[in-house]
Amino acid sequence: MLIKNIDIIRADGTLVNGMNVAVKDGKFAYIGKEMPEGYWGEVLDGKGRVLIPGLINTHTHVPMTLMRGYGDDMPLDRWLFDRIFPFEDKLSAEDVYWGSMLGIAEMLASGTTSFSDMYYFCGSIAKAVIESGIKANIGRGVSCFDETKKFADLPAYSEMLELVKSYHKYDGGRVLIDAAPHSEYTTRPDILADIAEFAAANSLRVQVHLSETQKEHLECVGRHGKTPAKVMEDSGLFDFPVTAAHCVWLSDIDVEILAKHKVFVAHCPQSNLKLASGIARVGYMRQQGVSVTIGTDSAASNNNLDMFEEMRTASLLAKGVTLDPCALPANEIVYMATRAGALAQGRKDTGDIAEGYAADFVILNTNRISMTPSHNPLSNIVYSASGADVETTAVNGRILYHKGEFLTIDIERVLHEVRAHVKFLLDK
């Protein structure tokens, strides 16, 4: 594939005008002013377009699109116990498949090329990922409320074994399986330690929820005499590559722990606001050397999976809370949503527009109202654009979404199946 004469915004926010971009074997083979030699099966004209790295959503629960708008404006306990948990109790593998397809379609249409997920029925998620062509790190969430059970006794354990066998590194690593202890408050230190061992034995990365709410943070201190971050460090979990979602209530010492162990943070500002969890201290964490990435969390608490909105909210919130209009500028936000996310997922050759990197990219049409005038395309992308401005989304050089059409997903069928499955679940 050849993209001719396109402006590029790189992961660090640098703008380069009028480049020719060649894609071969799923990677960027050439990026420069010259016209590369060769025969190109597909040629895209980049005039009036801007090319950016595919966005990386480092924390979501994609099947929960089924619960979009199912419980809003409710106290957290009622939301969980009256809505989310009873609904989830009824879910089947097929429900999860269709919910995943809806969420993946939503992400592709809004410029996300890779996501990190924590849920169950992960085979269904993997199937949707494989069929759709998107990239994902999939983690089977592990919780345990039974004192008598060890990690190896849990159904999640055997499911994880099966997932690793069937899907880990599938399609050249497009699918990765992560270990995913749900959180401190839904597990125990020994289970965290066992999961860490499992991750080590299978060379897996780790996803976990960390200090999302004040209640969780304080109750942990009450229970263990130490913070959730310290419990995780002491269990050995942080000796492996970890992405910790939320991190709203970290103490200064917790932040030091995360920095020391190179734990990535998945900042989910819209979900944290909507569930009234609070506002993560992103500026402080970054100052202390923690790499912060961006996630949407699920459509049950967001309520969409548009990373453009999430980028904007992350930046605006940082400015508003610190009263510093220069906080989290557009170039840093783009880095967080692309390259930093790729590194959190353990995808070393992903998340930038550079030769040799995976050709995961997004093309935006700049001849749109939200992108006009074009004083600064980077500003327009972070502060004005929305997912609706995405014209093309490609993963490993394969176009998956183009001008409103999905190339790998029958979207009308997905919308129909989701409605039918939700109706069936509610009637159950």
Positions touching a copy of itself (CB under 8 A) are: 65-70, 72-76, 79, 102, 105-106, 109, 214, 270, 272-279, 299, 302-304, 306, 309, 313, 315-317, 319-327, 329-330, 367, 369-370, 372-377, 379-380, 382-384, 386-388, 411, 415, 418-419, 422
SS3 154: coil
Residue that the structure tokens 């409710």 belong to: 74
State the minimum distance, in angstroms, from the CB of residue 374 to a copy of itself: 7
Question: 273 or 407, CB closer to a copy of itself?
Answer: 273
State the minimum distance, in angstroms, from the CB of residue 426 to a copy of itself: 8
Question: 17 or 166, CB closer to a copy of itself?
Answer: 17
Strands 15-24 and 2-9: antiparallel
H or E element that contains 285: helix 282-287
State the minimum distance, in angstroms, from the CB of residue 386 to a copy of itself: 5
For residue 70, the number of C-alpha atoms closer than 13 Å in the C-beta half-sphere is 24
Question: 278 or 346, CB closer to a copy of itself?
Answer: 278
State the minimum distance, in angstroms, from the CB of residue 397 to a copy of itself: 25
What is the C-alpha to C-alpha distance for residues 375 and 372, in angstroms, rounded to an integer?
Answer: 8
Residue that the structure tokens 């997004």 belong to: 362
Question: 299 or 342, CB closer to a copy of itself?
Answer: 299
State the minimum distance, in angstroms, from the CB of residue 120 to a copy of itself: 20
The string of DSSP codes covering 171-226 is HHHTEEEEEEE--STTS-HHHHHHHHHHHHHTT--EEEEES-SHHHHHHHHHHHSS
SS3 270: helix
State the minimum distance, in angstroms, from the CB of residue 63 to a copy of itself: 12
For residue 82, the number of C-alpha atoms closer than 13 Å in the C-beta half-sphere is 10
Question: 24 or 319, CB closer to a copy of itself?
Answer: 319
H or E element that contains 167: helix 155-167
SS3 410: coil
State the minimum distance, in angstroms, from the CB of residue 89 to a copy of itself: 17
The amino acid occupying position 136 is: A
Length of the chain: 428
Question: 27 or 368, CB closer to a copy of itself?
Answer: 368
Question: Residue 68, Cα to own-chain centre: how many angstroms?
Answer: 17
Question: 184 or 389, CB closer to a copy of itself?
Answer: 389
